């Protein structure tokens, strides 16, 4: 009976794998590109907030070493160690337990939904330079809804489609900037790069803009389970607002380049939206598979996509799209910063508590060096949070309290069986799950045959008595 059920389970799992195409390397690279950057669209605010181009240029030269590289290295080590959907939720759960894993997932999901709400806004900010009608609420709101519904449907159709679309969108979005750079070479005046007016510097806006443009490296980890084989212009700084690159294109190449950049901005924001929604949806799927959320969040469509998780993310985007770019930016950065502090802490704790954890990629530092690697970005996170407004503190505090209340509520619902929960994937990588969790149930096993047998036994819906299972293990020994 147990063998038959095991065979049926194997058939179901193999069928599931066939209906859920995996991401290959090139689409994965394109999705990471859109998770982190998506091109230069959205960096204009850093020039305005920085009082000129100098601080913006210095920021993009220095911040990657302080922030992007450490975040990418930590993500590479932990994502290869925990190659499942859910990403950082698994890391935090393994280091600090499921309560903090849930909080991490809730904060990051909320931050991701806020981030996704930016892209329809950016899309219209570019179009309104040529079509001022999009400044009117009666036109702007239906357009935002139409963009959100259309891109949500594309995400529903499959992650592999999103991945290959991201490749095409990336190429199309970057081409006009290659042309613009070539055309602007005769007009380059390096002395203009040094312009800065410290009286006009908005430090809060500057750090929030720089941080947003260079973060989100860890978002790719939430898709790990789906991966196969894991200035020339005389313009004032105040003119550099969202969508200004289109005006730059007109001044350099004419209206044709302006329209090309606007089209590229539209495509880029589509790619950004799709990449962010994919990671948010598969994060909820991973949390459901871990038993943190009802199993309905793990249900997949015929295209292999988590339907309910996608709809939840899309709903959040619709409610947040009415906010301004800067408002959304500050809220999402604050929540993201809290989550990243927890990730850096988990990175160090796992190095100390579980030094023998299988790490296919390991940051080439010992524990002390790994801790020092996390120190500069952690200080940057504290700085970004300290510059937040009281409104941001209030909104973020409300989200944190909501997360604290949701966890015991979901645990209670699980115990009372108010909803169906599943925990098909534990909150730790396979190489430590047996050692950490089977010892309490079975005697210590030292040979490979016994480990294999225990693995098979654990997958069956056992109708045998515990003594019969133990007898089988002893016979192998």
Question: What digits encode the pLDDT tens for the residues 18-49?
Answer: 455 666 666 767 766 766 666 666 677 777 77
The candidate with the shortest Cα–Cα distance to 381, out of 229, 246, 210, is 210
* C-alpha span between 244 and 247 (Å, rounded): 5
* C-alpha span between 309 and 180 (Å, rounded): 40
Cβ partners under 8 Å of residue 42, min gap 6: 118, 122, 209, 212, 213, 242
Most distant CA atoms of the chain, gap in Å: 83
Q: Phi, psi at residue 289, to the nearest 5°?
A: -65, -25
Conformation bin of residue 39: beta by default, left when phi > 0, alpha when psi is -120 to 50: left
DSSP classification of residue 421:
B
* C-alpha span between 290 and 97 (Å, rounded): 12
CB atoms closer than 10 angstroms to residue 234: 9
The candidate with the shortest Cα–Cα distance to 174, out of 45, 274, 264, is 264
Q: What is the pLDDT of residue 59?
A: 85
Q: What is the pLDDT of residue 1?
A: 45
- The string of DSSP letters for 357-370 reads S--SS--SS-HHHH
- pLDDT lower than 50: segments of the chain: 1-18, 231, 233, 427-477
465 by Cβ neighbours in 10 Å (0-12 / 13-18 / 19+) ranks as: exposed
DSSP bridge pairs for 437: none
Cβ partners under 8 Å of residue 86, min gap 6: 105, 222, 225, 282, 283, 285, 286, 287, 289, 290, 425
327 by Cβ neighbours in 10 Å (0-12 / 13-18 / 19+) ranks as: middle
Q: Provide the angle, in degrees to the nearest 10, between the axes of the packed helices 137-156 and 307-320.
A: 160
> Which domains are seen in the chain, by residue range?
25-416 (1.20.1740.10)
Q: What is the pLDDT of residue 445?
A: 36
Conformation bin of residue 105: beta by default, left when phi > 0, alpha when psi is -120 to 50: alpha
Conformation bin of residue 291: beta by default, left when phi > 0, alpha when psi is -120 to 50: left
* C-alpha span between 336 and 216 (Å, rounded): 9
Conformation bin of residue 170: beta by default, left when phi > 0, alpha when psi is -120 to 50: alpha
Whether residue 105 contacts residue 283, with contact meaning beta carbons closer than 8 Å, is answered with yes
Distances (CA, A) of 189 to 50, 75, 181, 197: 19, 39, 13, 18
- The string of DSSP letters for 283-342 reads HHHHHHHTTSSBGGGG-B-TTS-BHHHHHHHHHHHHHHTTS-HHHHHHHHHHHHHHHHHH
pLDDT digits (tens, 9 = 90+) for 377-424: 999 899 889 988 888 899 899 999 999 999 999 999 988 888 888 765
Q: Phi, psi at residue 23, to the nearest 5°?
A: -75, 135
Is the alpha carbon torsion for 333, 335, 338, 344 positive or negative? negative
Q: What is the pLDDT of residue 181?
A: 81
Whether residue 306 contacts residue 297, with contact meaning beta carbons closer than 8 Å, is answered with yes
Is the alpha carbon torsion for 248, 250, 254, 255 positive or negative? positive
* C-alpha span between 41 and 213 (Å, rounded): 9
SS3 129: coil
SS3 300: strand
Q: What is the pLDDT of residue 24?
A: 64
DSSP classification of residue 37:
T
Q: What is the pLDDT of residue 49?
A: 78
* C-alpha span between 45 and 248 (Å, rounded): 14
Q: What is the pLDDT of residue 343?
A: 92
The candidate with the shortest Cα–Cα distance to 112, out of 92, 88, 93, 94, is 88
Q: What is the pLDDT of residue 374?
A: 94
């Amino acid at each position: 009976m147990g063998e038959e059920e095991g065979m049926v389970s194997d058939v179901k799992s193999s069928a599931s794998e066939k209906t859920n195409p995996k991401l290959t390397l090139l689409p994965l690279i394109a999705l990471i590109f859109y998770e982190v950057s998506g091109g230069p669209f959205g960096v204009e605010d850093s020039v305005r907030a920085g009082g000129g181009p100098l601080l913006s240029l210095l920021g993009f030269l220095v911040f990657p070493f302080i922030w992007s590289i450490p975040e990418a290295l930590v993500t590479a080590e932990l994502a290869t160690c925990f190659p499942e959907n859910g990403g950082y939720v698994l890391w935090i759960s393994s280091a600090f337990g499921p309560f903090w894993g849930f909080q991490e997932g809730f904060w990051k999901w909320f931050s991701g939904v806020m981030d996704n709400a930016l892209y329809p806004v950016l899309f219209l900010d570019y179009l309104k330079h040529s079509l001022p009608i999009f400044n009117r609420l009666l036109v702007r709101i239906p357009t935002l809804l139409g963009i959100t519904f259309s891109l949500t449907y594309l995400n529903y159709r499959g992650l592999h489609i999103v991945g290959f679309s991201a490749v095409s969108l990336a190429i199309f979005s970057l081409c006009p900037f290659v042309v613009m750079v070539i055309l602007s070479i005769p007009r380059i005046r390096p002395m203009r790069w040094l312009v800065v007016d410290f009286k006009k510097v908005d430090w809060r806006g500057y750090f929030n803009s720089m941080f947003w443009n260079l973060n989100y490296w860890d978002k790719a980890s939430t898709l790990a389970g789906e991966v196969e084989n894991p200035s020339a212009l005389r313009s004032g700084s105040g003119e550099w607002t969202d969508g200004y690159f289109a005006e730059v294109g007109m001044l350099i190449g004419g209206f044709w380049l302006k329209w090309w950049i606007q089209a590229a901005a539209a495509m880029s924001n589509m790619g950004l939206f799709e990449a962010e929604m994919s990671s948010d949806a598969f994060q909820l799927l991973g949390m459901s598979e871990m038993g943190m959320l009802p199993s309905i969040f793990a249900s997949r469509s015929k295209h292999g996509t988590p339907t309910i998780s996608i709809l939840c993310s899309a709903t959040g985007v619709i409610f947040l799209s009415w906010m301004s770019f800067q408002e959304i930016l500050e809220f999402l950065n604050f929540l993201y910063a809290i989550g990243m502090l927890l990730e850096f802490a988990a990175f160090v704790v796992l190095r100390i508590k579980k030094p023998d954890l299988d790490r296919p990629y390991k940051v080439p530092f010992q524990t002390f060096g790994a801790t020092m690697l996390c120190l500069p970005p952690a200080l940057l996170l504290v700085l970004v949070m300290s510059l937040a407004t009281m409104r941001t503190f209030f909104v973020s505090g409300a989200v944190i309290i909501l997360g604290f209340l949701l966890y015991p509520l979901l645990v209670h619902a699980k115990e009372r069986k108010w909803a169906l929960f599943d925990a098909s994937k534990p909150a730790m990588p396979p190489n430590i799950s047996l050692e950490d969790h089977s010892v309490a149930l079975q005697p210590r096993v030292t040979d490979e045959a016994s480990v294999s047998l225990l693995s098979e036994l654990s997958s069956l819906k056992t109708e045998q008595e515990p003594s019969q299972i133990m007898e089988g293990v002893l016979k192998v020994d």
